[in-house]
């Protein structure tokens, strides 16, 4: 459904050229749900805008839904649906009118567009809201309307840009359900960007991890997590005892990546549950009192950390650096 | 593309009709000029030499029609910036609809509104102020208003897309519009008899002053080449240029 080679986009920012996307390859098979995971500013939206004909790549080539992105963008547009990040409706426009116009712009007749609109309104739990202006819908409802607009012409391939950003946890879970159901009911191939680990983890068959405009890893959520060796352990001790604690941890069987931050000592170990008793005994013998302990299975955040050397959440927090993506989305 | 243009035109028209207050506010400005400023001109025109031929209403009403096309339409780019902000513009650009149709549908609605407002204004002037103008002249003046509205709307959309800022757009627009308005002789005609030479010369450079003059000639029923030619050529050229500018902006890949 998608085959991209060496796709790149440069922006001129304050006289110098910035690579927002730096030559990436993407392959998505029919029926797959692929997630594009990375911090804000990593190039996700830029890539998506290129694949949906909204932005011309400065380099590379791609075939999307059977049409060449550069030679036949109109062909691509006919076959894809796009659910943008910031919404896509005029607040004063009634739900049914937006759907009808959208359908007709894709070449449906007035009646076809209305029928299809009604079906989607029902499928996405928007029944009874047809005449309401889009601006009066709740955040979750509006996102579902955006999705209905993206599906009006029965596309085979749908792009979602950060589909649940700005939603509360309940609406988010609800939207995931809808996305899963639509996918099976309508036989869709889906490509979504997200910076939520949980979203990528629970929704996607396969994940492309992007950072700094390059794809740094690719695989199913489980396969990616398996790349990270073992469980993460965090133990808390008195600040003056972190150094001896780290030494004790260091000689533990199979322990790796030992780091100290504040009064916390972190490390990885193949089986956290089995390593704990031994560690407790060793600390006891050295007279060190453990104040807290945490063992967690590897998460996608650990994957991101081991790939890029920083946590996805940190990358998020540091995003203040004036950016590639920020410049053109505005 | 015609079908797409028609669809977008329909959407824009429904939006306008849904907000009748906005239409009333828009028409109020020229109507207020007509009612509260026009009568003042009556005595001035009668007692001052140097005005173009015709009575006060055949001088002033056409100027207000230009104002409708000019000012009433100049700020339509705001609507596009709103579309841009709430994602509608991008959503429409991912559909196979012609991107030129996205522009022309909007411009069509602006033109229709300008024509309706201008017709309304002429009706008021005829009913309450005894304006007399030949039918052909009035129709021609409406055509001029339509072309002017198409010009200003296209330019406004193109400018809005270039700036993409809801702060910079009105600031720049105001800076451009006021001198253009004053130098077009809308309120007081800038003639050799009334204006100092340098001011007259400046007004000749302003394309809109020629359009105002053509509009006035149409109202007098003066259809000679001499009075209409410059204004028509200027207007057609401006319309062609701005529509071209607008379509280029809308077609751009990263608009």
Q: Which of A86, A87, A105 sits opposite B4 (nearest CB)?
A: A105
Q: In what order do the strands lie in the sheet with A256-261?
A: A256-261, A264-269, A231-236, A292-296
pLDDT at A328: 37
Q: Decide: residue A309, CB within 10 A, 0-12 exposed, 13-18 middle, 19+ buried.
A: exposed
pLDDT at A313: 67
Which of B4, B88, B90, B94 is best to mutate for the A interface (most A CBs within 10 A)?
B94
Tens of pLDDT, residue by residue over B156-174, are 999 999 999 889 999 999 9
Q: Give the count of Cβ contacts less than 8 A between chain A and B.
A: 69
* Residue contact A77–B95, C-beta within 8 A: yes
Q: How many CB atoms lie within 10 A of CB B1?
A: 11
Least confident among A250-264, B113-127, B146-160, B230-244: A250-264
Angle, vertex CA B197, rays to CA B33 and CA B188, nearest 5: 10
Nearest chain B residue to A159, by CA: B94
Q: Which of A56, A80, A84 sits opposite B253 (nearest CB)?
A: A56
Q: How many CB atoms lie within 10 A of CB B46?
A: 10
With tokens 């196979």, the residue in question is: B96
Tens of pLDDT, residue by residue over A30-76, are 999 999 988 878 889 899 999 999 999 999 999 999 999 999 999 99
Q: What does the pLDDT average to over B99-104?
A: 94
- Contacting residues of A for B169, CB less than 8 Å apart: none
pLDDT at A315: 64
Q: What does the pLDDT average to over A195-221?
A: 89
**Long-range contacts of B21-26, Cβ-Cβ distance < 8 Å, separation of 24 or more:** B23/B113, B26/B72, B26/B113, B26/B117
User: Is the model more confident about A329 or about B67?
Assistant: B67
Whether B211 contacts B229, CB under 8 Å: no
Q: Tokens at residue B164, please? A: 């993409």
Q: Which residues pair with A292 in a beta bridge?
A: A236
Tens of pLDDT, residue by residue over B58-95, are 888 999 999 999 888 999 999 999 999 999 999 999 99
Whether A224 contacts A67, CB under 8 Å: no
User: Is the model more confident about A86 or about A131?
Assistant: A131
pTM equals 0.83
User: Is the model more confident about B128 or about A15?
Assistant: B128
pLDDT at B253: 65
The band of B237, judged by pLDDT with boundaries at 50, 70 and 90, is very high
Least confident among A10-19, B36-45, B103-112, B201-210: A10-19
Nearest chain B residue to A105, by CA: B97
Q: What does the pLDDT average to over B36-51?
A: 83
pLDDT surpasses 60 at A255: yes
The alpha-carbon gap from A32 to the nearest alpha carbon of chain B, in Å, equals 22
* Residue contact A101–B11, C-beta within 8 A: yes
Q: What does the pLDDT average to over B171-195?
A: 88
The alpha-carbon gap from B164 to the nearest alpha carbon of chain A, in Å, equals 8
Q: What does the pLDDT average to over A132-145?
A: 92
Nearest chain B residue to A72, by CA: B96
Q: Tokens at residue A12, please? A: 């001129």
Q: Which of A52, A92, A330 sits opposite B15 (nearest CB)?
A: A92
Percent of chain B's residues with pLDDT above 90: 61
Which of A46, A88, A153, A329 is best to mutate for the B interface (most B CBs within 10 A)?
A88
Helix (H) / strand (E) element for B194: namely: none
pLDDT at B233: 92
Whether A325 contacts A19, CB under 8 Å: no
pLDDT at A85: 84
Instruction: Give which of B37, B41, B40, B30 is closest to B64, Cα–Cα.
Output: B30
* Residue contact A84–B7, C-beta within 8 A: no
pLDDT at A86: 79
pLDDT surpasses 60 at A113: yes
pLDDT at B255: 54
Buried-exposed string B61-83: b where 16+ CB fall within 10 A, e elsewhere = bbbbbbbbbbbbbbbbbebbbbb
pLDDT at A326: 37
Q: Tokens at residue A159, please? A: 């792009």
Helix (H) / strand (E) element for A232: namely: strand A231-236
Q: In what order do the strands lie in the sheet with A157-161?
A: A80-83, A157-161, A189-194, A33-37, A206-211, A214-219
């Amino acid at each position: 459904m998608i085959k991209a080679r060496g796709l790149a986009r440069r922006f001129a920012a304050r006289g110098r050229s910035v690579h927002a996307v730096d030559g990436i390859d993407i392959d998505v098979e029919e029926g797959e749900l692929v997630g594009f995971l990375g911090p804000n500013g990593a190039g996700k939206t830029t890539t998506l805008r290129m694949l949906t004909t909204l932005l011309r790549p400065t380099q590379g080539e791609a075939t999307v839904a059977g049409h060449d992105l550069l030679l036949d963008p109109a062909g691509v547009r006919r076959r894809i649906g796009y659910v943008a990040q910031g919404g896509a409706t005029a607040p004063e426009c009634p739900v049914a009118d937006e759907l009808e116009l959208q359908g007709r712009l894709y070449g449906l007749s007035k009646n076809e567009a209305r029928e299809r609109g009604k079906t989607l309104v029902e499928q996405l739990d928007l029944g009874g809201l047809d005449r309401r202006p889009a601006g009066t819908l709740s955040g979750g409802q509006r996102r579902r309307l955006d999705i209905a607009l993206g599906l009006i012409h029965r596309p085979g391939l749908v792009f979602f840009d950060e589909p649940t950003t700005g939603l509360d946890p309940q609406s988010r879970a609800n939207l995931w359900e809808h996305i899963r159901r639509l996918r099976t009911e309508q036989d869709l191939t889906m490509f979504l960007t997200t910076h939520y680990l949980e979203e990528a983890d629970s929704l996607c068959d396969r994940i492309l991890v992007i950072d700094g405009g390059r794809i740094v890893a690719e695989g199913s959520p489980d396969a990616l997590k398996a790349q990270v060796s073992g469980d993460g352990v965090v133990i808390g001790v008195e600040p003056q005892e972190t150094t001896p604690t780290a030494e004790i941890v260091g000689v533990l069987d199979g322990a790796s990546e030992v780091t100290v931050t504040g009064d916390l000592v972190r490390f990885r170990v193949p089986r956290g549950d089995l390593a704990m008793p031994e560690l407790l005994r060793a600390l006891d013998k050295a007279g060190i009192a453990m104040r807290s302990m945490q063992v967690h299975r590897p998460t996608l955040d650990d994957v991101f950390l081991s790939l890029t050397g920083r946590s996805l959440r940190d990358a998020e927090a540091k995003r203040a650096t004036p950016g590639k993506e920020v410049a053109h989305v505005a | 593309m015609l079908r797409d243009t028609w669809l977008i035109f329909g959407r824009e028209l429904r939006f306008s009709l849904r907000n009748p207050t906005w239409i009333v506010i828009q028409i109020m400005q020229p109507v207020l000029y007509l009612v509260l400023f026009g009568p003042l001109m009556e005595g001035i025109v009668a007692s001052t030499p140097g005005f173009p031929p015709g009575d006060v209403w055949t001088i002033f009403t056409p100027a207000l029609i230009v104002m409708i096309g000019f000012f009433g339409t100049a700020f339509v780019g705001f609507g596009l910036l709103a579309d841009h902000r709430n994602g509608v513009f991008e959503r429409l650009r991912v559909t196979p609809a012609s991107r030129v149709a996205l522009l022309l549908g909007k411009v069509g609605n602006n033109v229709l509104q300008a024509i309706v407002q201008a017709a309304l204004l002429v009706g008021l002037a005829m009913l309450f102020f005894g304006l007399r103008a030949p039918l052909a002249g009035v129709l021609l003046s409406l055509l001029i208003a339509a072309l002017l509205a198409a010009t200003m709307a296209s330019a406004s959309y193109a400018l809005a897309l270039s700036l993409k800022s809801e702060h910079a757009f009105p600031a720049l627009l105001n800076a451009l519009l006021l001198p253009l308005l004053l130098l077009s002789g809308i309120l007081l005609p800038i003639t050799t008899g009334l204006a100092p030479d340098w001011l007259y010369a400046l007004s000749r450079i302003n394309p809109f002053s020629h359009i105002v003059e053509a509009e006035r000639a149409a109202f007098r029923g003066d259809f000679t080449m001499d009075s209409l030619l410059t204004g028509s050529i200027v207007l057609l050229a401006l319309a062609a240029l701005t529509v071209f500018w607008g379509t280029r902006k809308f077609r751009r890949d990263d608009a």
